[in-house]
């Protein structure tokens, strides 16, 4: 087990190195050089030369890349030219808001998704099953940002029940987290439904029934337990997708998290922040995948970790 974790961590380091290099590449290929961005176009030639030298931009590309990698290893991404502060702390400051959003969404998606999946899967082919299936297709297809706007229209403007944007109170959390949760609720529901429907056809379920267990006991005792493994996996594997969804949802609801920071930084070409934030997110996603695999192997002893790549 320990060896496996070490091996996975090493792969993780490799992936993070690749991710950092990819970011380096994108930023270097992009038009507009950092010196002009930092100084403005009306800077004097001496100022430009001085800053170019102090940023090391006059050195060979390979040497710049190596310096960049050592800086990355120390989580130093330089200063945000907009905020005037080191980029990484600025990024970290936004993490709690995004984490709050993602955790709430995950909770909603898992609870509601499991419930819907059980409901549909326990009676495959029934009206309930069809309605749930249709809903899950719709929920997965609707564009998140549009759903968010429609929720604002309904709950903030028409019914005036909830604030339409911003953060600060639990009420502010409702619309963004529901919006973010919807597609993942659908995924969890579909998965649960399939798994429950399969389990219900198994001979041991018949046995359980014949022993006089109520339908509810059968569902809770066997069907639910069996469907938890794929659900845990899918939640873990979709952390990246959830993070991506958060980028858009945060912008719809002016939620002060990582996503709105990144979009602002991209629009302003504040590359230090872009690099720090994307690197951090890549790290988080990777960590989640690792943890998912570990939990997965704990839940189901049949799965051996070293086989899973």
Nearest Cα to Cα of residue 65 among 97, 12, 20:
20
Q: Which of 47, 52, 64, 140 binds other proteins (CB under 8 A)?
A: 140
Per the rule left: phi > 0, alpha: psi between -120 and 50, beta: everything else, 262 is alpha
- DSSP letter for 60, please: -
User: For residue 277, what are its two tokens?
Assistant: 């934030």
| Closest approach of other proteins to the CB of residue 209, in Å | 22
Interaction of residue 86 with other proteins, rule CB under 8 A: no
- Please list every residue from 288 through 307 that binds other proteins, using CB under 8 A: none
Interaction of residue 138 with other proteins, rule CB under 8 A: yes
CB 200 within 8 A of CB 122: yes
- Please list every residue from 150 through 169 that binds other proteins, using CB under 8 A: 150, 152-153, 156-157, 160, 163-169
Give the number of residues in contact with other proteins, rule: CB under 8 A: 89
The burial of 183, by beta-carbon neighbours within 10 Å (0-12 exposed, 13-18 middle, 19 or more buried), is given as: buried
Interaction of residue 29 with other proteins, rule CB under 8 A: yes
Q: Distance between CA atoms of 142 and 174, rounded to whole angstroms?
A: 19
DSSP-derived secondary structure for 154-196 = IIIIIS--S-SS--SSHHHHHHHHHHHHHHHHHHHHHHHHHHH
Q: Distance between CA atoms of 60 and 65, rounded to whole angstroms?
A: 9
> Which segment (69-77, 96-104, 195-203, 208-216) binds other proteins by CB under 8 A?
96-104
Q: Considering the complex, state which of residue 203 and residue 307 has its C-beta at the smaller distance from other proteins.
A: 307
Q: Which of 9, 10, 13, 22 binds other proteins (CB under 8 A)?
A: 22
The burial of 208, by beta-carbon neighbours within 10 Å (0-12 exposed, 13-18 middle, 19 or more buried), is given as: middle
Interaction of residue 221 with other proteins, rule CB under 8 A: no
Interaction of residue 55 with other proteins, rule CB under 8 A: no
- Please list every residue from 200 through 219 that binds other proteins, using CB under 8 A: none
Interaction of residue 193 with other proteins, rule CB under 8 A: no
| Closest approach of other proteins to the CB of residue 19, in Å | 5
Q: Which of 228, 290, 294, 303 binds other proteins (CB under 8 A)?
A: 228
CB 148 within 8 A of CB 253: yes
Q: Considering the complex, state which of residue 41 and residue 210 has its C-beta at the smaller distance from other proteins.
A: 41
Q: Distance between CA atoms of 238 and 143, rounded to whole angstroms?
A: 17
Interaction of residue 127 with other proteins, rule CB under 8 A: no
> Which segment (2-10, 37-45, 46-54, 192-200) binds other proteins by CB under 8 A?
37-45
Q: Which of 86, 124, 230, 256 binds other proteins (CB under 8 A)?
A: 256
Q: Which of 57, 128, 213, 266 binds other proteins (CB under 8 A)?
A: 266
Q: Considering the complex, state which of residue 85 and residue 206 has its C-beta at the smaller distance from other proteins.
A: 85
Interaction of residue 144 with other proteins, rule CB under 8 A: yes
Q: Distance between CA atoms of 293 and 299, rounded to whole angstroms?
A: 10
Residue 194 C-beta-side C-alpha neighbours within 13 Å: 9
Interaction of residue 104 with other proteins, rule CB under 8 A: yes
Interaction of residue 262 with other proteins, rule CB under 8 A: yes
Interaction of residue 281 with other proteins, rule CB under 8 A: yes
């Amino acid at each position: 087990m320990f060896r496996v974790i070490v091996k996975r961590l090493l792969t993780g380091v490799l992936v993070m190195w690749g991710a950092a290099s990819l970011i380096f590449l994108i930023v270097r290929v992009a038009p507009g050089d950092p010196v002009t961005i930092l100084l403005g176009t009306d800077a004097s030639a001496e100022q430009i030369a001085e800053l170019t030298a102090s940023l090391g931009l006059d050195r060979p590309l390979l040497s710049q890349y190596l310096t960049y990698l050592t800086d990355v290893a120390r989580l130093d991404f330089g200063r945000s030219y907009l905020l005037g502060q080191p980029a990484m702390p600025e990024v970290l400051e936004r993490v709690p808001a995004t984490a709050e959003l993602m955790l709430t969404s995950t909770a909603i998606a898992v609870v509601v998704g499991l419930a819907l999946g059980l409901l549909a899967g326990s009676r495959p082919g029934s009206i309930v099953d069809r309605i749930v299936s249709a809903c899950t297709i719709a929920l997965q297809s609707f564009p998140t940002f549009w759903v968010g706007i429609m929720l604002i229209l309904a709950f903030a403007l028409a019914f005036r029940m909830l604030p339409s944007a911003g953060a600060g109170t639990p009420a502010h959390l409702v619309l963004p987290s529901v919006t973010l949760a919807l597609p993942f609720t659908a995924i969890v529901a579909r998965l649960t439904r399939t798994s429950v429907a399969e389990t219900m056809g198994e001979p041991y379920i018949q046995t359980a029934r014949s022993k006089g267990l109520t339908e509810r006991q059968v569902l809770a005792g066997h069907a639910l337990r069996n469907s938890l493994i794929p659900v845990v996996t899918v939640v873990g594997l979709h952390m990246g997708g959830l993070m991506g969804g958060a980028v858009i949802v945060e912008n719809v609801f002016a939620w002060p998290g990582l996503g709105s920071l990144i979009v602002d930084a991209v629009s302003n070409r504040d590359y230090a922040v872009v690099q720090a934030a994307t690197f951090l997110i890549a790290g988080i996603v990777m960590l989640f995948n690792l943890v998912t695999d570990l939990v997965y192997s704990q839940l189901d002893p049949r799965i051996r970790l070293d086989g899973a790549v």
